[in-house]
Amino acid sequence: MSRLVMKFGGTSVADLERIRRVGRLVAAEVRSGKQVAVVVSAMSGKTNELVAWTDQAGRAAPGLPDSDDEYDAVVASGEQVTAGLLAMVLRNMGLNARSWLGWQLPIITSEAHGSARIEDIPPANLSASMDRGEVAVIAGFQGRTLDGRITTLGRGGSDTSAVAVAAAVGASCDIYTDVDGVYTTDPRIESKAKRLAKISYEEMLEMASLGAKVLQTRSVELAMAQRVPLRVLSSFTEPGEAGEDTGTVVCDEEEIMEKRIVSGVAYSRDEAKVSLLGLPDHPGVSSAIFGRLADANVNVDMIVQSRSRDGGLANMEFTVGKRDAARAVEIVNAAKAEIGFEEVAVNEDVAKVSVIGVGMRSHAGVAQSMFKALADKGVNIQVISTSEIKISVLIDSAYTELAVRALHAAYGLDQL
């Protein structure tokens, strides 16, 4: 008998009526003969409410341990409510169901409260439950340390929970969300965006990391590493309505018959550009800067360095998330005397726009097409970053939507 893990996000379980629809989708899979586990998020808006309460509770007094572990104990409760409600709904529908919390399975994680990483899921408890014919309803986003403390996995962590559970029990994984698959770009910006029937793990990973909100980056990394069959579907349909070719399958590149040069256009407005002017141009300077940022867990993305007009000096620009911008400036300013730069400046009015596609490996001229499309629309490029299957540019945020539409048309994505 095949096994399936179904994951439902916050908007899919926002109220009892939507939870009942989830119940009908689960029941359809059970009645088709599958062993089913379900991973759920907190009801829409609940996690934000819980986080706000922890903020109001305040920090620990000097001399006492910080309260990150208690933050996790509070915030993880949202998923517990959803898991219990869905199990009740399924029982009301005549299905044998029970809820599982992360510590009960158990989902073993690191001790990094608020951003823990899954280290192990011993499959015995869950496999036994599924073999008994139970629908296992699992609270996502959470686990426990080896010494029994509750942890959470960071925003979007229920996606990672679902993929990890699927890997543990040898199941495929269906991620249900408020869209019916992965699109060539955000349909709210470009009405001609097309749903992709298949996308490679590598492309999905790039799209997730570059701003696409469909799947959490870590969940795609895990699915690719464990070769978990992954599908993105809409939870806003009734069983049988969508048809067999619905959703988007995330799979190995070899499973895609015709590889597109570009599969999608992603964007992120959560960017800030930090500029360091008048840097000494000698070995060790970059290491001193980025070593300090790494030690403070500030993630740096795009980096460009150029020679200054003044001999022996250089200018450097790099991007961080907006929430890290002030901390990044504080860190580099603290080392100003040692590093020896003249000035630091921050620009938060920027956006990153990217094109992604495995076909870039074997086709020339992809970058030229991107630059020409943006130039034709009068969009100036501030920073460029590339990898084997993506090109990203930093632009003025006012041109984000114009750039997305121009690139979508330039690569013929509206013709798929």
Domain at 92, CATH number? 3.40.1160.10
Asked whether residue 210 is domain-assigned, the answer is no
Alpha-carbon gap, residue 325 to 327, rounded angstroms: 5
pLDDT digits over 191-217, tens only? 999 999 999 999 999 998 887 778 888
Same domain, 147 and 26: yes
Asked whether residue 245 is domain-assigned, the answer is no
pLDDT of residue 124: 95
* Cβ pair 76, 55 in contact under 8 A: no
CA-derived radius of gyration, the chain? 23
Asked whether residue 189 is domain-assigned, the answer is no
Tell whether the model's pLDDT for residue 347 goes beyond 80: yes
Asked whether residue 224 is domain-assigned, the answer is no
Stretch 245-252: mean pLDDT, rounded? 88
Alpha-carbon gap, residue 39 to 169, rounded angstroms: 13
Same domain, 269 and 134: no
**Parallel, antiparallel or unpaired: strands 313-320 and 264-280:** antiparallel
Alpha-carbon gap, residue 177 to 303, rounded angstroms: 34
Q: How many CB atoms lie within 10 A of CB 289?
A: 23
* Residue 317 CB partners (closer than 8 Å, separation 6+): 273, 274, 275, 276, 302, 303, 304, 305, 382, 383
* Domain around 353: 265-415
Stretch 259-280: mean pLDDT, rounded? 91
Half-sphere exposure at residue 68, Cβ-oriented, CA atoms within 13 angstroms: 12
Band of residue 243 on the pLDDT scale cut at 50, 70, 90:
low
Tell me how many domains the chain contains.
2
Asked whether residue 29 is domain-assigned, the answer is yes
Asked whether residue 40 is domain-assigned, the answer is yes
- The DSSP bridge partners found for residue 249 are 198, 231
Same domain, 290 and 160: no
pLDDT of residue 238: 83
Question: Among 379, 353, 375, 357, which residue's Cα sits nearest to residue 366?
Answer: 357
Band of residue 378 on the pLDDT scale cut at 50, 70, 90:
very high
Asked whether residue 259 is domain-assigned, the answer is no
* Residue 31 CB partners (closer than 8 Å, separation 6+): none
Same domain, 283 and 174: no
Same domain, 148 and 32: yes
* CATH assignment of the domain containing 371: 3.30.2130.10
**Parallel, antiparallel or unpaired: strands 135-139 and 35-40:** parallel
Band of residue 245 on the pLDDT scale cut at 50, 70, 90:
low
Q: Tell me, rounded to whole angstroms, the distance of Cα 50 from its chain centroid.
A: 21
Average pLDDT, the chain: 92
Same domain, 166 and 297: no
pLDDT digits over 92-144, tens only? 999 999 999 999 999 999 999 998 999 999 999 999 999 999 999 999 999 99
Q: Which of 116, 146, 178 is the last residue of a domain?
A: 178
Q: Which of 113, 147, 178 is the last residue of a domain?
A: 178
Alpha-carbon gap, residue 204 to 166, rounded angstroms: 18
Q: Which of 150, 178, 206 is the last residue of a domain?
A: 178
Stretch 54-66: mean pLDDT, rounded? 89
Q: Per the structure block, which two tokens stand in for 338?
A: 């040692």
Asked whether residue 221 is domain-assigned, the answer is no
